[in-house]
């Protein structure tokens, strides 16, 4: 299976569809109806209200939307990594890794505000990676800030990804105060238009759209399956660090900086769920995309065939076992 995804063959898109459907089969047999949390943005609440009449008769609509989102994110992210040349030659390993990773935890099989936001963050990371030699950096950082501000309408703590923009400016650009100011203007622009609309329609209630910010430790159910998923998430990531350090001198400067930004993306995504935290694990899916990039690096550079085969099939068996265990739990 890994050898198939190492090739840049369009037929792999069909394989990814079959792959994702099999690994997430439980979510189609037992569809989960999402419930918006207090930390979710108003747009996500409206989106679920829009889907509610459909889901009453066809609850599997949530599973279908989730599968479509995961597949489009996997393929888009895969193409961007190939375009950025983070791996020596084009392949489908990042897409395969993303589908695997989003199957480690049942909460990541479900529709959530953060899963939707991943579609926006793919674009944000790709644009920030282009800061290194972009001819119009102010336009770029304004647009990226605009997307981050809009993302907070779906999941308010996503506003924390402003840190990733600042990391990008520090890592990829010489210091220009005007670029930092423009990025901040981009972040607040969606709120400017939102509040202008509320004011003009005599519906002024900004506190509804600006919840208080608290930092706390997010609590979630920790069982053997959760720890198993975390183990399979971390091990390939640690192995990729070894391979990246070994190959770093062979990389172009642009590629090195892109990998640095990917690591900063991962660190930011791991910190975001601490803002207005809840007791659910679904918000940690924000870290799935950067983890997928590092996993793909491990699968690509593993010199021993048995190493990447062991990693891959251990993940697949774990996920399939989880699919069989969940019905017995319920």
Summarize pLDDT for 2-46 with one digit per residue, the tens. 788 888 888 989 999 999 999 988 888 888 888 888 888 889 999
Question: 266 or 137: whose pLDDT is higher?
Answer: 266
CA distance 251 to 24: 36
Distance CA 249, CA 231 (A): 29
3-state secondary structure (DSSP) of residue 205: coil
Q: pLDDT, tens digit, for every residue of 94-135?
A: 999 999 999 999 889 889 999 999 999 999 988 888 887 778
CA distance 26 to 45: 25
Nearest to 71 by CA among 107, 8, 115, 133: 115
Q: Phi/psi at 58 (nearest 5 deg)? A: -130, 80
Question: Which whole-number Å values give the CA distances from 307 to 245, 311, 316, in the listed order?
Answer: 19, 6, 14
Domain locations in the chain? 2-329
Q: Is 124 exposed, middle or buried (0-12, 13-18, 19+ CB in 10 A)?
A: buried
Task: Say whether 155 sits in a helix, a strand or coil.
Answer: strand
pLDDT of 325 above 80: no
- What is the pLDDT at residue 328? 57
pLDDT of the residue at 268: 92
User: Within 13 Å of residue 127, how many CA atoms lie on the same side as its CB?
Assistant: 21
The answer for residues whose C-beta is within 8 angstroms of residue 1's C-beta and 6 or more apart is 96, 312, 316
Phi, psi of 49 (to 5 degrees): -65, -35
Mean pLDDT of the residues in the chain: 88
Paired residues of 57 in beta bridges: none
Q: What are phi and psi of 192, to 5 degrees?
A: -60, -50
**Tell me, what's the pLDDT at 109?**
87
In percent, the amount of the chain with pLDDT more than 70 equals 96
pLDDT at site 279: 67
**How far apart are the C-alpha atoms of 237 and 239, rounded to whole Å?**
5
| Residue linked to tokens 């409206």 | 46
């Amino acid at each position: 299976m890994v050898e198939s995804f190492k090739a840049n063959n369009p037929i792999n898109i069909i394989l990814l569809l079959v792959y994702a459907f099999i690994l997430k089969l439980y979510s189609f047999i037992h569809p989960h109806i999402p419930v918006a949390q207090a930390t979710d943005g108003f747009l996500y609440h409206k989106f679920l209200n829009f889907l509610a009449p459909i889901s009453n008769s066809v609850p599997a609509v949530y599973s279908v939307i989730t599968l479509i989102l995961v597949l489009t994110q996997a393929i888009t992210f895969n193409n961007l990594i190939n375009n950025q040349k983070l791996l020596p030659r084009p392949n489908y390993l990042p897409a395969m890794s993303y589908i695997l990773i989003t199957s480690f935890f049942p909460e990541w099989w479900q529709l959530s505000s953060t899963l939707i936001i991943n579609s926006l963050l793919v674009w944000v990371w790709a644009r920030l990676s282009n800061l290194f030699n972009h001819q119009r950096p102010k336009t770029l950082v304004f647009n990226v800030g605009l997307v981050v501000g809009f993302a907070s309408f779906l999941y308010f703590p996503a506003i924390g990804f402003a840190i990733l923009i600042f990391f990008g400016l520090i890592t990829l650009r010489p210091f220009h105060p005007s670029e930092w100011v423009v990025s901040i203007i981009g972040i607040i622009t969606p709120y400017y238009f939102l509040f202008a609309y509320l004011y003009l329609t005599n519906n002024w209630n900004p506190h509804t759209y600006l919840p208080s910010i608290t930092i706390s430790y997010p609590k979630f159910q920790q069982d053997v399956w959760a720890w198993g998923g975390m183990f399979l998430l971390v091990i390939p990531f640690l192995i990729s660090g070894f391979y990246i350090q070994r190959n770093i001198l062979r990389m172009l400067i642009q590629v090195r900086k892109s990998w640095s930004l990917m690591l900063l993306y991962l660190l930011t995504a791991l910190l975001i769920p601490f803002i207005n935290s809840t007791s659910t694990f679904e918000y940690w899916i924000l870290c799935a995309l950067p983890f997928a990039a590092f996993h793909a690096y491990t699968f690509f550079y593993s010199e021993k065939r048995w190493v990447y085969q062991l990693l891959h099939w251990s993940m697949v068996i774990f996920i399939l076992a989880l699919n069989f265990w969940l019905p017995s739990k319920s």
